[in-house]
Chain A
Amino acid sequence: MRLITAIIKPFKLDDVKAALEQFGIKGMTVSEASGYGRQRGHTEVYRGAEYQVDLVPKVRVEVLAEEDDADDVIDVIVKAAHTGKIGDGKVWSVPVDTVIRVRTGEQGPEAL
Chain B
Amino acid sequence: MIDSGTTAWMLVCTALVLLMTPGLAFFYGGMTRAKSVLNMMMMSFVSIIVVTVAWVLYGYSLAFDAVGDGSGFLNKIVGGLDYVGLSGVVNAVYEAASPDGNFPLMVFSAFQLTFAIITVALISGAIADRAKFGAWVVFSVVWATVVYFPVAHWVWGGGWLGQLGIEDFAGGTVVHINAGAAALALALVIGKRKGWRKEPMRPHNLTLVLLGVGLLWFGWFGFNAGSELAPDQTAALAFMNTQIATAVAAGAWMIVEKLRDGHATTLGVASGAVAGLVAITPACGFVDPWAAALIGLLAGVGCAYAVGLKYRLGYDDSLDVVGVHLVGGVIGAVALGFVAAYPFADGQEKGILIPGGQLSQLGLQILGPVVVGLYSFVISWVIGKAIDKTMGFRIPEEAEVAGVDATTHAETGYDLGTVYASGVSSPNGPAAPAPKKVDA
Could you tell me which residues of chain A, from 28 to 56, have a CB within 8 Å of some CB in chain B? 44-51, 53
**Cα of A53 to Cα of B267 in the assembled complex, Å:** 17
Contacts of B203 in A (CB 8 A): 46
Could you tell me which residues of chain A, from 81 to 107, have a CB within 8 Å of some CB in chain B? none
**Cα of A51 to Cα of B261 in the assembled complex, Å:** 12
Q: Which of A46, A47, A53 has the most CB of B within 10 A?
A: A47
In the assembled complex, the CB of B410 is this many whole angstroms from the nearest CB of chain A, namely 28
The answer to whether B257 touches A45 (Cβ under 8 A) is: yes
Q: B320 is contacted by which of A44, A47, A50 (Cβ under 8 Å)?
A: A47
The answer to whether B263 touches A48 (Cβ under 8 A) is: no
Contacts of A51 in B (CB 8 A): 200, 202
In the assembled complex, the CB of A86 is this many whole angstroms from the nearest CB of chain B, namely 20
Could you tell me which residues of chain B, from 243 to 279, have a CB within 8 Å of some CB in chain A? 257, 260-263, 265, 267-268, 271
**Cα of A51 to Cα of B257 in the assembled complex, Å:** 15
The answer to whether B268 touches A47 (Cβ under 8 A) is: yes
**Cα of A51 to Cα of B305 in the assembled complex, Å:** 17
With an 8 A cutoff between CB atoms, is B34 at the interface?
no
With an 8 A cutoff between CB atoms, is B308 at the interface?
yes
The answer to whether A48 touches B307 (Cβ under 8 A) is: yes
In the assembled complex, the CB of B210 is this many whole angstroms from the nearest CB of chain A, namely 14
Contacts of B261 in A (CB 8 A): 45, 48, 50
**Cα of A50 to Cα of B320 in the assembled complex, Å:** 16
Contacts of B299 in A (CB 8 A): none
**Chain B residue, CB-CB nearest to A44:** B202
With an 8 A cutoff between CB atoms, is B290 at the interface?
no
Q: A46 is contacted by which of B202, B260, B305, B323 (Cβ under 8 Å)?
A: B202
**Cα of A45 to Cα of B311 in the assembled complex, Å:** 14
With an 8 A cutoff between CB atoms, is B170 at the interface?
no
**Chain A binding site: helix, strand, loop or mixed by DSSP?**
strand
Contacts of B304 in A (CB 8 A): 47-48
The answer to whether B311 touches A46 (Cβ under 8 A) is: no
**Chain B residue, CB-CB nearest to A52:** B200
Contacts of A49 in B (CB 8 A): 308, 311
Contacts of B320 in A (CB 8 A): 47
In the assembled complex, the CB of B246 is this many whole angstroms from the nearest CB of chain A, namely 18
A51-B200, A51-B202, A53-B200 given as contacts; is B263 within 8 A of A45 (CB)? yes
A51-B200, A51-B202 given as contacts; is B267 within 8 A of A46 (CB)? yes
Contacts of A48 in B (CB 8 A): 257, 260-261, 304-305, 307-308
Contacts of A50 in B (CB 8 A): 261
**Cα of A46 to Cα of B257 in the assembled complex, Å:** 10
**Cα of A53 to Cα of B268 in the assembled complex, Å:** 19
Could you tell me which residues of chain B, from 61 to 92, have a CB within 8 Å of some CB in chain A? none
**Cα of A46 to Cα of B197 in the assembled complex, Å:** 13
The answer to whether B202 touches A45 (Cβ under 8 A) is: no
**Cα of A46 to Cα of B262 in the assembled complex, Å:** 12
**Cα of A50 to Cα of B261 in the assembled complex, Å:** 9
The answer to whether A46 touches B265 (Cβ under 8 A) is: yes
**Chain A residue, CB-CB nearest to B323:** A47
Contacts of A53 in B (CB 8 A): 200
**Cα of A48 to Cα of B254 in the assembled complex, Å:** 11
Contacts of B262 in A (CB 8 A): 45
**Chain A residue, CB-CB nearest to B304:** A48
Contacts of A46 in B (CB 8 A): 202-203, 265, 267
In the assembled complex, the CB of A57 is this many whole angstroms from the nearest CB of chain B, namely 15
Q: Which of A44, A49, A51 has the most CB of B within 10 A?
A: A49
**Cα of A46 to Cα of B304 in the assembled complex, Å:** 11
Per-residue contact bits, chain B 304-347, to A (CB 8 Å; 1 contact, 0 not): 11011001000000001001000000000000000000000000
**Cα of A50 to Cα of B268 in the assembled complex, Å:** 13
**Cα of A44 to Cα of B204 in the assembled complex, Å:** 13
Per-residue contact bits, chain A 43-75, to B (CB 8 Å; 1 contact, 0 not): 011111111010000000000000000000000
A-B contact pairs, 5 of them (CB 8 A): A46-B203, A46-B265, A47-B271, A47-B307, A48-B305
Q: A45-B257, A46-B202 are in contact. List 17 more A-B contacts (CB 8 A).
A: A45-B261, A46-B203, A46-B265, A46-B267, A47-B267, A47-B271, A47-B304, A47-B308, A47-B320, A47-B323, A48-B261, A48-B305, A48-B308, A49-B308, A49-B311, A51-B202, A53-B200
5 nearest CB pairs, A to B? A45-B261, A47-B307, A51-B200, A48-B308, A46-B267
